[in-house]
Amino acid sequence: MSIQQGSAGGVPVLILKEGTAQTKGRDAQKNNITAAKLIAEIVRSSLGPRGMDKMLVDTLGDVTITNDGATILKEIDVQHPAAKMMVEISKATDNEVGDGTTSVVVLAGALIEKAEELINKDVHPTVIVDGYRKAATKAIEVLNGIAQKIAGNEKQELIKIAKTAMQTKLVSKESDELAQIVVDAALAVSEKTDSGFRLDIDDVKVEKKAGGSLRDTKLVKGIVLDKEVVHGGMPKRIEKAKIALINSALEIEKTEFDAKININSPDQMKMFLEEENRMLKSMVDKIVECGANVVVCQKGIDDIAQHYLAKASILTVRRVKESDMTKMARATTARVVNSLEDLTPKDLGSADLVEERKVETDKWVFVEGAKHPKSVTILIRGGSQRIVDEAERSVHDALMVSKDVLEKPAIVAGGGAPEAYTASKLREWTNTLSGREQIAAEKFAEALEVIPLSLAENAGMDPIDTLTELRSKQSKGSKWTGVDVRNAKVGDISKLDIVEPLAVKEQVIKSATEVASMLLRIDDVIASSKSAGGGPPGPPGGGMGGMGGMGGMGGMGGMDM
């Protein structure tokens, strides 16, 4: 690939740095399309309850087993910039709505694939993008038209939604119990607002510990700190706790530089130690004075201070994560103090019970019956680290869909039914568009069908038969016809309690259209070479800006997986 050159009066003008690679026009487009399609292909087989899991091995040999789109793409090291964009939308969807992370990539891949067909027929990308955008807006309108409104905090509906999100995961067998726990957690921390409900996902703390079985997973109405009581002589259980949250160390501050202290006699030594002792004791006295019987400290605690705290029967936990300090502050309405001098009785929080309990081989501290009940912990248990890890991801998805519906109480059935319905409505609507845009919008409708189609394929069903049956039943007006994956047939999904938030479906369409449009509009890829020029070399596989891995631009060559 050559350096971009111009020429002014016979003198060549160098525009780009030496070593820069540039691909233009069709080539650039083809490259991006290939990369995006490949990414979609990777996650496609993991869509739905019959989707396969992926085993991902990182450079250190650590194994992750998952079928969560966002996780798969996070773990594989993608180099091609177009592939990176696909990974980005999966992440963005995860942040926005928490579910649909596989669907969004699969749909984007299909949109791009259909666009490729049109580009090969000399339809200009701009026309395709316009058609797609109009179709996306219309699709969302159609979805809103069929979505069912519910009262946001209907527990039974929420359980169905949480269950659907977990059906597709490793934990599907336990999804009944887990969905119950997740919804209880979500309802416990949700707040009623003027316009509905609001839920801050941070109010639900998720802790996991391998051992036991998934069925031992439980909801703690309070906070669990994965730390033990620091000193054997301290009480392990305090009722009516008065809790001090301290984020400085209970130690004598060491001087910045090496101070030399001259001690010439045993008496001086004794005095010195006594002075230290006195200072530590006065720290503890201060805590006792304020009336605290529980101390949660973000930093370390000197042995001597521990001794005095134990003598004063104060249950103490040290080296607690900052995020847990914040959660403790919210839950117990305590104020985190930066220095002991600031501590006053007003700063203390309260809880009915603080107790150290055994969790497998560890001892953890449970804070229950806190003043502010809007703080709960889901304590995930499971046979192995891999299972609790995947369970944590599934619980996250389930929590997020509960949040989605609490905040925007509208649902649709799943199984590809809404996509199939929208596709059929879009086909009727495309007649109102002008020639080439119409073709693009029709392709958009076809692309939407990739969702039911992939679900069917992953369940071992015949794709052509499925699509034919789906289209014919849809056109006869049974709008909730989709792919009943468990029974491997086309059927009415609304009868199966497979329900999803409208918010997820909307987000999937919006994000997939966005990334497809973005990629299609690119007709020039300019990549600076890794080692060119005097600048510091970027990190391997660096961010989009660096476009690190563009060296081998021949399709797969640019992807390092």
Report, as residue numbers or ranges, the catalytic residues.
Answer: 68, 101-102, 397
Rule CB under 6 A: which of 217-276 touch ligand ADP? none
Residues 155-194 contacting Mg ion, CB under 5 A: 168
Q: How far apart are CA 459 and CA 452, in angstroms?
A: 11
User: Is residue 430 within 8 Å of residue 422, measured between CB atoms?
Assistant: no
**Residue 390 binds to ligand ADP (criterion: CB under 6 A):** no
Paired tokens of 191: 């707040």
Q: How many residues bind ligand ADP (CB under 6 A)?
A: 25
- Which residue type, as a one-letter code, is found at position 110? A
The pairing of beta strand 294-297 with beta strand 237-246? parallel
| Rounded least distance, CB 461 to ligand ADP, Å | 11
Closest CA to 400 of 289, 504, 280: 504
CB closer to ligand ADP out of 99 and 355: 99
Closest CB to ligand ADP among residues 399, 451 = 451
- The answer to whether 100 contacts ligand ADP (rule: CB under 6 A) is yes
Binding of residue 99 to Mg ion (CB under 5 A): yes
Residues 6+ apart with CB under 8 A from 290: 244, 343, 344, 345, 347, 348
Six-digit token string for 152: 């946001």
167 binds ligand ADP (CB under 6 A): yes
96 binds Mg ion (CB under 5 A): no
Coil vs helix vs strand at 24: strand
Taking the complex as a whole, how short is the minimal distance between the CB of residue 35 and ligand ADP, in angstroms? Answer: 20
Contact of residue 498 among Mg ion, ligand ADP, none (CB under 5-8 Å per partner type): ligand ADP
Residue 94 as a binder of Mg ion (CB under 5 A): the answer is no
390 near Mg ion, judged by CB under 5 A: no
Q: Which is nearer to ligand ADP, 149 or 495 (CB)?
A: 495
Binding site partner of 125, from Mg ion, ligand ADP, none, Cβ cut-off 5-8 A by kind: none
Q: How far is residue 331 CA from its own chain's centroid?
A: 24
| DSSP structural state of residue 3 | P
Phi (first) and psi of residue 364, to 5 degrees: -120, 155
Residue 80: φ, ψ to 5°: -70, 135
Residues 6+ apart with CB under 8 A from 185: 204, 219, 376, 378, 399
Nearest CA among 106, 155, 209, 178 for reference residue 396: 178
Between 66 and 375, whose beta carbon lies closer to ligand ADP?
Answer: 66
Q: Per rule CB under 6 A, is residue 164 in the interface with ligand ADP?
A: yes
Cα distance between residue 25 and residue 71, in whole Å: 33
Which helix or strand (DSSP H or E) is residue 240 part of? strand 237-246
Candidates 48-56, 91-99, 145-153, 413-421; binding stretch for Mg ion (CB under 5 A): 91-99
Q: What is the four-CA torsion angle of 398, 36, 471, 492, rounded to 10 degrees?
A: -10
Of residues 89, 451, 512, 515, which one binds ligand ADP by CB under 6 A? 451
- Those residues whose C-beta lies under 8 Å from the C-beta of residue 484, and which sit 6 or more positions away, are 415, 490, 491, 493, 496
Least distance to ligand ADP, CB of residue 455, Å: 5
Q: Between 49 and 548, whose beta carbon lies closer to ligand ADP? A: 49
Residue choice 113, 355, 356, 500 for contact with ligand ADP (CB under 6 A): 500
Piece of 99-107, 178-186, 253-261, 527-535 that binds ligand ADP (CB under 6 A) = 99-107
Q: Compute CA 33 distance to the chain's CA centroid, rounded to the nearest angstrom.
A: 26
Return d(Cα 131, Cα 430) in angstroms, integer: 10
Look up residue 65 and give its two tokens: 């087993």
Cβ-proximal residue to ligand ADP, closest one: 414
Q: Token digits for 226?
A: 């994965």
The stretch near Mg ion (CB under 5 A) out of 93-101, 171-179, 182-190, 443-451 is: 93-101
- Residue 113 beta carbon to ligand ADP: minimum distance, rounded to whole angstroms: 18
Question: Which among Mg ion, ligand ADP, none contacts residue 306 (Cβ within 5 to 8 A by kind)?
Answer: none
State the minimum distance, in angstroms, from the CB of residue 89 to Mg ion: 15
Q: Are 175 and 454 in contact (CB under 8 A)?
A: no
- Provide the minimum distance between the beta carbon of 138 and ligand ADP in the complex, in angstroms, as a whole number: 20
Among 125, 409, 416, 558, binds ligand ADP (CB under 6 A): 416
Tell me which residue has its CB nearest to Mg ion.
99
Where on the chain is the footprint of ligand ADP (CB under 6 A)? 47-49, 51, 67, 69, 99-103, 164, 167-168, 414-416, 451, 455, 483-486, 498, 500
Where on the chain is the footprint of Mg ion (CB under 5 A)? 99, 168
